[in-house]
Structure 1
Amino acid sequence: MTSPRPRLAVVVKGWPRLSETFIAQELVALEDSGTPFEIWSLRHPTDTRTHPLHDRLQAPVHYLPEYLRDDPVRVLRAAVCAMRLPGFAAAWRAFRADYARDRSPNRARRFGQACVLARELPAETQGLYAHFLHTPSSVARYTAILRGLPWSFSAHAKDIWTTPDWELREKLSASSFGAAFGATCTSIGAEHLRALADTPDRVDLVYHGLDLSRFPDPPDRAPRAPGAPLKLLSVGRLVEKKGFDRLISALALLPDGLDWHWTHIGGGTLKDDLAARAGKAGLSGRISWQGAQDQPAVIAAMRGADLFVLPSRVARDGDRDGLPNVLMEAASQKLPVLSTPVSAIPEFIETGVHGVLTDDAPDSIAREITAFADDPSRGPALAEAAYDRLNAAFRMQPGIDRLARRLNAMMAKSR
């Protein structure tokens, strides 16, 4: 009788999520590469739509108790089981050390979720892989200690820059049951984590890239006709780090004679505040708030727009973008990009070559939008260069091949 194939447990914050197409793309590609896994989600979905990528995934999906009070019987059974595991004493010490520095309900919840996961993982599980280095990696780490398994992570943006250094060091050190390895999607993020790791090779730079087979060929883009309306598009959550408040202020500074319309796609907590700001500036009639959309709708909007604008910035709590996938998606449709030199955005866009990067001051943004409007030939030339760069250096498959090798090597060591 053939024994079950070793299986990976993938820990995510929530599944599925419209704002995390990069995770869906990666998991579908890993599945296609022959890496078997199951998904363990810390939260139930809140989006009402899904992307086609989500529908392609065949992996089983399990949901842990989002709050321990949600399923006390399940949590109690897990706690009793965990206390009988050989790794419980070490896991409890690790949790107590963490809790001494972070006395929060969230920290306690992570350990409770880890107990549930440790009890319910299939016997053939050979390793864990967490998307995001904060909460999901804490659950993966405690579970790995309980079950005596290796674990790994993929780090992105907020999790790198808002997690305390003491916690990052512990998750990057073998002496504190740290990850076997970690992947991150930006050079700036990799440099930061390697400086905190016990060995630099514990952190691997793996760009997400794009699976261009999922996207239509770019449209034929003639220069915008003189005097034609300038169609601006932004895609991103309405949160501080995306800088849309600055963009609205910039739109209010555009010349009176410029005919423009801005479309925003994405959810987020600042919708009411930003809509009120736009109304106060007299811009409501020139703005379409489309809310969260699936990827086909996003791509359709990109194909009909003239300029993609993403004024990313560092939020007050240190949160920031990594390399937003939407910039690569815009490039896939030869849509010119106006953004800011925050975090890893310059790793993809060299200003004046593949797009334009400006500071996030409203007058700077307004000046660059006006320059695009005044020179209709400028955008297509930059977009062509970004499209070539995307194809040459930011395709998905090389990163997936590298990640699959590291995950399979990690699991092989645990057998």
Structure 2
Amino acid sequence: MTDEIVFILKGYPRLSETFIAQEIRALEQRGIKIRIVSLRFPTDKHVHPVHREIQAPVAYLPEYLYQEPLRVLRGWWKARRLPGYAAAFRQWIADLRRDRTSNRGRRFGQACVLAAELGAPNAYPKRLHAHFIHTPAAVAYYTHLMTGIPWSCSAHAKDIWLTPDWEKREKLASMDWLVTCTETGHRVLAGLAPTPQQVSLVYHGLDFTRFPEPPARPARRQGPFTLLSVGRLVPKKGYAGLIEALGKLPKDLDWRFRQIGGGPLKDALQAEAERLGIAARITWLGARPQETVLEEYRGADLFILNSRIAADGDRDGLPNVLMEAQSQRLPVIATNLAGIPELVIDGETGALVPPDDPTALGQAIARLLNDAALRQGMADAGFARVRSVFAMDRGIADLERRFKRGD
């Protein structure tokens, strides 16, 4: 067995998962040897600087089994001879009966390939570690059953809320430990674990070497004010409600809105902005690397994230973009959802509004733009708190201890 930790990710590299990349790089710098295994190929046109710094080798499993049939067949042929294959197969059949999807079959096929390509038992890694308790954890779980390699997991947001309780419960019973990044997620998962102590709250935090203290900049008292949001254009980010809120702003308020992040709702959102007569004030920047995002934080007057619960139950956990904005002394408006109130203290380090309430959101935007002193106070308080409470080092030290000791 080697001292290597295999990180199993849904996709790599991804612009929307900076927190995973910064974690991997920080652990490498502390002497943890990591190999990345990705279930999907990258789709983003850009990468962040941290992705270029990561030393870990990257392997891609067959994204769809039919695309690499010979590799899948070889993987299954080798995997079926492993001592734990029968147990893994029984577990997969039990899971398939409760979740009759092609995705379930794909995860078992990917696990067979991974188990086969890890080599002989004396060359096995020290641990498998899945980021997200849904599909990456399924591959880690089946691979663990086949090989006996210990495994653990980091759970975040969508994966917690959309994975059935029976599946979370069974995975938790199989793994050594799990960390999650919000108190809300911690309560849910600790209640499903064999013992609550198996689940720990570990905030991602920020690497402040990548988000250094911004130059001094007093709050602007007159427009044009620059509003900024960073997030994928998907239902849980609440951009439809944000566009509606912008349409409700007073006509004499001089503002511009800049949005970073791509996604399937872009055309519909642009059409709604046209209908409301505010399209000329909005710039859709698409996905951008971290250097550009940092420049946008420093040029904005107010950051807005209108998170909500989507129809399928998907929601944010504690979005890193809120920490990033606060680290640049940018006042924030967000919704009082999931882990966000753990970061944003309403009226002190930012403003919180109810989800799915464009009227309240519009009122909060107008109030902050019309009160430079209030914006400055929130910006300063948010900056101080994020740097004192949400630095990355504490969480990385916790993970380093776990990976080095194997507990």
Question: Where on the TM-score scale, by shorter chain, does this alignment land: which range?
Answer: over 0.9
Cα drift, residue 5 of structure 1 = 4.4
In the alignment, does 2:122 pair up with 1:126?
no
- Choose which of 353, 368, 392 in structure 2 pairs with 1:372: 368
Q: Which residue of 1 aligns with 2:255?
A: 260
The residue type equivalent to 1:65 in the other structure is P
Q: CA RMSD in A?
A: 1.0
- Which segments of structure 1 move beyond 4 Å, counting only runs of 4 or more? none
Q: Give CA-to-partner distance per residue, 1:232-288, whole Å, 9 cap, x none.
A: 000000011111100100111110101110000001111111111111111110000
Q: 1:235 aligns with which of 230, 240, 244?
A: 230
Given that 1:310 and 1:339 are in contact with CA atoms closer than 8 Å, whether structure 2 keeps it comes out as: yes
Write the distance in 1 (CA, Å) between the matches of 2:17 and 2:166.
27
Mapped partners of 2:32, 2:42: distance in 1? 24
Contact 1:7 1:126 in 2 (8 A): yes
Aligned to 1:359: 354
CA distance in 1, matches of 2:148, 2:372: 60
Distance 1:8 1:335 in 2: 37
Secondary structure, aligned partner of 2:35: strand
Distance 1:171 1:312, change over 3 A: same
For 2:324, the equivalent position in structure 1 comes to 329
Matched-pair contact (CA < 8 Å) for 1:219–1:334: no
- Please state how far the C-alpha of 1:223 moved relative to its aligned partner: 2.2
| Runs of at least 5 residues in structure 1 that lack an aligned partner in the other structure | none
Q: 2:15 corresponds to which residue? A: 18
Map of 1:85 onto structure 2: 82
Mapping of residues 165-314 of structure 1, within 5 Å? 165-173=165-173, 178-226=174-222, 228-314=223-309
Partner residue of 2:69? 72
| 8 Å Cα contact 2:369-2:375 kept in structure 1 | no
TM-score scaled to structure 2, two decimals? Answer: 0.98
- 1:144 aligns to 2:144 (yes or no): yes
**CA 1:171/1:348 → structure 2, altered by over 3 Å: closer, same or farther?**
same
- Maintained 8 Å contact 1:181/1:202: yes
Which of 346, 356, 377 is the matching residue for 2:341?
Answer: 346
Using the TM superposition, give the Cα deviation of residue 318 of structure 1 relative to its aligned residue in structure 2, in angstroms.
0.8
Correspondence 1:156 to 2:156: yes
Contact persistence 1:157–1:322 (CA under 8 A)? yes
Which secondary structure does the structure 2 equivalent of 1:91 belong to? Answer: helix
Contact preservation (8 Å) 2:34, 2:56: yes
Q: Find the aligned partners of 2:136 and 2:404 in 1 and give their Cα distance.
A: 20
Contact 2:259/2:286, CA 8 A, preserved across alignment? yes
Question: Matches of 1:329 and 1:377 in 2, distance apart?
Answer: 21
CA contact (8 A) 2:2 2:126 kept: no
1:71-108 per-position Cα deviation (integer Å, ceiling 9, x unaligned): 10000001110110000111011111101100100000
How far residue 51 of structure 1 moved from its aligned partner, in angstroms, is: 0.2
Q: Please name the residue that 1:28 is paired with.
A: 25
The corresponding residue for 1:58 is 55
8 Å Cα contact 1:221-1:380 kept in structure 2: no
Q: Secondary structure at the match of 1:20?
A: helix
Structure 2 unaligned regions, length at least 5: none
Question: What's 1:39 paired with?
Answer: 36
Q: Secondary structure at 1:247's aligned position in 2?
A: helix
1:349-405 deviation per Cα after TM superposition (whole angstroms, max 9, x unaligned) = 110010000113111111111101211111111111111111111000110010121
Aligned partner letter, 2:163: T
Task: Indicate which of 72, 87, 110 corresponds to 1:113.
Answer: 110
For the Cα contact (< 8 Å) 1:251–1:366, is it kept in 2?
Answer: yes
Query: By how many angstroms is 1:41 displaced?
Result: 0.3
Secondary structure of 2:206's counterpart equals coil
CA contact (8 A) 1:172 1:196 kept: yes
Alignment TM-score, normalising by the size of structure 1: 0.96
Q: CA deviation at 1:409?
A: 2.6
- The one of 46, 53, 74 equivalent to 1:49 is 46
Name 1:400's counterpart in structure 2. 396
1:98 maps to 2:95: yes
Q: Is the CA contact 1:237–1:268 (under 8 Å) kept in the aligned structure 2?
A: yes
| Cα pair distance change 1:246/1:10, threshold 3 Å | same
